[in-house]
Chains A and B, each alone.
Chain A
Amino acid sequence: MMGMTMTEKVLARHAGRAQAAPGDNIWVDVDILMTHDVCGPGTIGIFRKQFGPTAKVWDREKVVIIPDHYIFTNDLHAHRNIDVLRAFVKEQDLPYYYDVGTDKYKGVCHIALPEEGHTRPGEVLFGTDSHTCTAGAFGEFATGIGNTDAALIMGIGKLWVKVPETMRFEFEGPLPPYLMAKDLILHIIGDIGVDGATYRAMEFSGDGVMSLSIEERMTLCNMVIEAGGKNGIIPTDDVTEQFVKSKTVKPYQPVADDPDARFHSVRRYTTADIQPTLAKPHSPDNRGTAHECAGTKLDRAYIGSCTGGKLNDFIAAAKILKGQQVKADTYIVPATTEVAKGLATTMLDGQSLTDIFLQAGAKISQGASCAACLGGPSDTFGRLNKSEVCISTTNRNFPGRMGSKTSQVYLASPYTVAASAIRGEITDPREFL
């Protein structure tokens, strides 16, 4: 039998087969289907149309609904979408719904999923959001799909997939103190381009990757979609298992690459060779370094989203912002309510992150959500409503992504964004670390 990669093994197991090879079209059993307020209503509409008005979801324990996109807005259409989710959850009696305005409210789905124990090694997770690939950090197959595919899963618990080839990215050496996972993934995307991994799995390994925290691993996997990747995946180790076991008692079965697994390609990097990296407007593969772009004037800095709004991202930013004043308008958006609590309770030299940000002159969002990462309704916190230049810890800088078509967005690590916020121009974080 031919050796398999982690991705091939997970898919084979979920198709009830001993073997799965790249290019095979197979139907896999789904462990978790996640949807949110933007794509949930459309998915529910198709589900009802195709399976009938009284149809029940295939497994109520496996459908997770997390409103997160358009929450803190006066847009009435957006509120109606939450009502659609609420009614469906009630009708289907779904246990995993994190409703707006209740204690259960979470915020950004990709961070909420692991916090609530829905990401487990060796499983198959589909979500109606392209950044569902974030969960590959937990050693599972996770990818984004559309409403139609999600509606089919809702009814039958299965979906066809084409088994992807795996590209392997190895990082040697722990990260230097001025680098974060965001620098590594922006570096890779700059190398292979925004379609460099189309249809493929991106596997991250090497001691540089395995030395990362679970949150940093999530940042790596989050942005595989920005290279066109189908899924990102990281081997399961003690870091993964400790986290997962702290969140769930459900059993799971991790997978590992076979020694003779075949890869599309293997790229090796030495972390010490990588610079604080950014993506210039208007594409995640338009790579530059903070050093090269130093001096570029900024109107705004934004720290938030599924890729850059986790507690570790804010700790990193606070290290630099402590005792400083920002020159650029700086917006802080915690990804989830748990992260928001962490801002108030996490201390850095006796001061909470919240106090550090407020004293530096930053604005902190009252609620956890996707907020301005994807623009959203015009009253969204931090949205770029005119020709502003912004540096952001988010994952996309397409034209108009954060609002106005005439705005410009630079993507960078929380270190680089914080350093640049202080100067009001792009700044290499090494000047503050």
Chain B
Amino acid sequence: MQDLITGSAYVLGDNVDTDQIIPAKHLVYSLSDPEERKLYGRYALSGVPDGAAGLPNGNVQFVPENEHRSPFQIIIGGRNFGCGSSREHAPEAMQIAGIQAVVAESYARIFYRNSVDGGFFIPFESTQRLITEVKTGDDVEINVPQGTLTNRTSGKTYSLRPLGDVLEIIKAGGVFAYARLAGFLKL
């Protein structure tokens, strides 16, 4: 687990559901095929309504046309991030697009669990509403051991909630590694 995660922020609102993260018509591509899986990156967050795509102004494309990597590495979200369908394609699409961390006020539990168990990125919880403190394109740094997020564009630092019970799974690198440590997998 790296200590510092830095990158450009992409800011979203409340109740961003997994249909917005990866619309259902795209759930047909192979995740096992190294080339085809890039399509998930290409369409990541393509279901977000234009006005809410990259706050505060909206209308910021998350992934440029015909590419599969985003110029943004850190998502800042509001309440209930990742609600709706259990599709693991959602955190995976964000990872394929290059997302390294999400910082939201709260998460829907299946998305949170998928992010941790699949080892796609760390879902951090903020202690205050950051979607009005960070603007899309701001330069952001997460200090994992300190549990802080610094907006290097504004110079302000905010505290994050402790990772709690899931820290062991995150440290292990996902639920398979965790299950091996627990002795359930001999492989």
Complex contact A144–B19 (CB within 8 A): no
Q: Which residues of B contact A149 (CB under 8 A)?
A: 113-114, 117, 175
What 1/0 flags go to B38-80 for Cβ under 8 Å of A? 0000000001111000000000000000000000000000011
Residues 20 to 56 of chain A near chain B (Cβ within 8 Å): 25, 27, 38-39, 41-42, 45, 49-52
Complex contact B31–A41 (CB within 8 A): yes
Chain B's interface: helix, strand, loop or mixed, by majority?
loop
Complex contact A146–B108 (CB within 8 A): no
In the complex, what's the smallest C-beta–C-beta distance from B163 to chain A, in angstroms? 13
Interface pick from B2-10, B81-89, B141-149, B154-162 = B81-89
Report the number of A-B residue pairs with Cβ-Cβ less than 8 Å: 150
Complex contact B27–A38 (CB within 8 A): yes
Interchain CA distance A126-B87 in the complex, whole Å: 14
Q: Which residues of B contact A70 (CB under 8 A)?
A: 27-28
In the complex, what's the smallest C-beta–C-beta distance from A72 to chain B, in angstroms? 14
Interchain CA distance A376-B87 in the complex, whole Å: 13
Interchain CA distance A283-B84 in the complex, whole Å: 11
What 1/0 flags go to A253-285 for Cβ under 8 Å of B? 000000000000000000000000000000100
Complex contact B110–A156 (CB within 8 A): no
Q: Which residues of B contact A374 (CB under 8 A)?
A: 19, 24, 85
Known: A145-B113, A149-B117, A401-B19. A195 touches B49 (CB 8 A): no
Residues 103 to 160 of chain B near chain A (Cβ within 8 Å): 106-110, 113-114, 117-118
Complex contact B184–A400 (CB within 8 A): no
Q: Which residues of A contact B187 (CB under 8 A)?
A: 50-52
| Known A27-B184, A50-B176, A130-B84; 16 more pairs at CB < 8 Å | A50-B185, A51-B187, A69-B24, A77-B29, A80-B28, A144-B86, A146-B86, A146-B91, A152-B175, A152-B179, A195-B15, A375-B19, A376-B25, A398-B15, A399-B20, A399-B47
26 A-B residue pairings within 8 Å (CB atoms): A38-B27, A39-B88, A42-B32, A51-B187, A129-B85, A144-B110, A145-B86, A146-B91, A146-B110, A146-B118, A147-B114, A148-B114, A148-B176, A152-B176, A152-B179, A156-B179, A162-B165, A194-B80, A194-B83, A195-B106, A198-B107, A228-B80, A228-B108, A375-B19, A377-B25, A377-B28
